[in-house]
Structure 1
């Protein structure tokens, strides 16, 4: 069957763009709008039925569909467009990833075509893109038959996309891609960074990729010196502008900048009226087996930045034994901010999650996790005495020195810890 008879493009272009301050769909990159770039890439992979959610674009760009349930976030756009489609599947893409390549989309579609019959749980299920251990719920192939379930969830006010996915079931296509290709351009600072970058992902004036660069070194071996090249982590100075006019300089790894901004601004109280965390009952139990498995993965398969430079901390978001995302940064606090930002961006209920750090847990780190809503904090490294005291005061489950089948419980909290 011809691909154009199987897939439509569902372009999510109707976000409020509060952080950007202007319509993202009309932003220009390389002489074209973001919307035009995404539509062109869909056509390159053989999809010519275009549905644009919630935004009127100039020219012949496809069918514009307005939400039947306004102000319901991405679910409103998914539902409205699916109700208008005649194809059995849709390729879902957000408008703010202008550098996503057609080669990546082709890989996703080919995988779906080859494995479609196996992607069932009594019905067709979505196939999401996963890179590293981070899932992208708004980059994937969705069955159009989900429309009725999405409508039910909207009526139940269960708006996080992952809530719908968990109810319906989903699978992931694991494939690492350069971070700059999935950069969500949602702030003026990120748009500026996009414009300053070259198409190959190299930042102007740096001569290296966005998270590392190569330098000349003298390698010492015994009493011998040898000239070599080595990768070092980039230290990027990010200026975060708050609503009250203050500017905060953050020394960070220049990846997942939207998540970093969201997490830090939330903790500073700068997102009032824009984003609200999803309220939920706290974690009731955690599995030692899953914790040790995650610790093993962090040790054996650290992030690419740590593998290449040895200069990064990792922070992992876990919910019900599943890893939802893993973030890297030269600063452990930044990695936590990115995880918090990821949870806010995709409306993941933080109280139901545990956070797992590669670095030490100090009092200020634990305080930040508590402020975000976590009640379970885990680490491969040490825990300070002040952090233990704070965990006991706030009744937070705190574990440290977690290795393969070993670890220390500093405070049990209200959570039940099971072996399975």
Structure 2
């Protein structure tokens, strides 16, 4: 069974009283990815759906182009190491890549990966159209799957949809990791990104928009707000962004033609 949580006795203060109680805490673990025996990156993540995450991360970084490029993936969970044998298109020893540690904290975890963005980010040419009810329903479906968030309050959630059907949901302490897990799922299931939309629990940042661009998905739904840079990038990359999906309403920030009226 995949494990997101661990139990811990905590001291809790409520209405003037101190009590000890059992609390459930989100797990966090570092995994070092080695590609063809070269250390590539260390990800701090929720330790589940690791094959999806590694696949999506390597594709997002431009190391692989498809799941078929991965010949073997071996996990040593005790040591926190993933050994990947892959048909790599770009030498890992080039100046494009350097050994780096990518943390789970929001806002500062990926500021050093912009060199690979120029190769892997793409303008979206085709994406589905959604009704207003589909936008609301997809967000409700995501939230109904977010059991770890409801228990801990310490994770991000993302889900992928096809024609209003939830195909997969992924959870992680890092918002980028949650999206990489979805990307890995898309690649491993050989899905067409142009048919898909994503619902996401976090704010719409520029990094999240770039991630959707790398995935080839053109519709992003969020319960939170976008940043100005995210809106600019979404316009440039032809991505529809829908935010503040809550209480029966939402805002469409970019490419509104994909939301049926």
Shared fold (TM-score greater than 0.5)? yes
Q: Give the drift of 1:274.
A: 5.0
Q: Give the drift of 1:357.
A: 0.5
Q: CA deviation digits over 1:324-344, x for unaligned, max 9? A: 111111111111000110000
Contact 2:10 2:21 in 1 (8 A): yes
Q: Give the drift of 1:302.
A: 4.0
Specify every segment of 5 or more residues in structure 1 that has no aligned partner in the other structure, as ranges: 1-177, 180-209
Alignment match, 1:291: 135
Matched, 1:252 2:45: yes
Q: Distance in 2 between matches of 1:317 and 1:354?
A: 6
Q: CA deviation digits over 1:289-342, x for unaligned, max 9? A: 11101222334x242211221211110101222211111111111110001100
Q: Give the drift of 1:416.
A: 3.0
Q: Give the drift of 1:267.
A: 0.8
Q: Give the drift of 1:273.
A: 6.7
Q: Distance in 2 between matches of 1:297 and 1:274?
A: 28
Q: Distance in 1 between matches of 2:8 and 2:128?
A: 48
Secondary structure at the aligned position of 2:38 is classed as coil
Alignment match, 2:258: 416
Q: Distance in 2 between matches of 1:325 and 1:253?
A: 16
Pick the aligned partner of 2:57 from 264, 274, 277. Answer: 264
TM-score for both structures, normalised by structure 1: 0.47
Q: Give the drift of 1:284.
A: 4.0
Contact 2:53 2:180 in 1 (8 A): yes
Q: Distance in 2 between matches of 1:260 and 1:266?
A: 10
Matched, 1:335 2:191: no
Q: Distance in 2 between matches of 1:233 and 1:318?
A: 25
Alignment match, 1:224: 17
Matched, 1:401 2:194: no
- Structure having the larger proportion of residues in strand: 2
Q: Distance in 2 between matches of 1:319 and 1:298?
A: 13
Q: Distance in 2 between matches of 1:353 and 1:288?
A: 16
Q: 1:249 to 1:320 in 2, by over 3 A?
A: same
Pick the aligned partner of 2:210 from 367, 379, 383. Answer: 367
Q: Distance in 2 between matches of 1:404 and 1:297?
A: 14
* Structure possessing the higher radius of gyration over alpha carbons: 1
Contact 1:283 1:353 in 2 (8 A): yes
Secondary structure at the aligned position of 1:260 is classed as helix
Matched, 1:212 2:212: no
Residues 276-355 of structure 1: pairs in structure 2 closer than 5 A: 282-299=126-143, 301-355=144-198
Pick the aligned partner of 2:201 from 347, 358, 370. Answer: 358
Q: Distance in 1 between matches of 2:189 and 2:31?
A: 23
TM-score for both structures, normalised by structure 2: 0.74
Q: 1:244 to 1:349 in 2, by over 3 A?
A: farther
Q: Distance in 2 between matches of 1:318 and 1:381?
A: 19
Q: Distance in 1 between matches of 2:34 and 2:52?
A: 15
Specify every segment of 5 or more residues in structure 2 that has no aligned partner in the other structure, as ranges: 70-123
Q: Distance in 2 between matches of 1:219 and 1:362?
A: 34
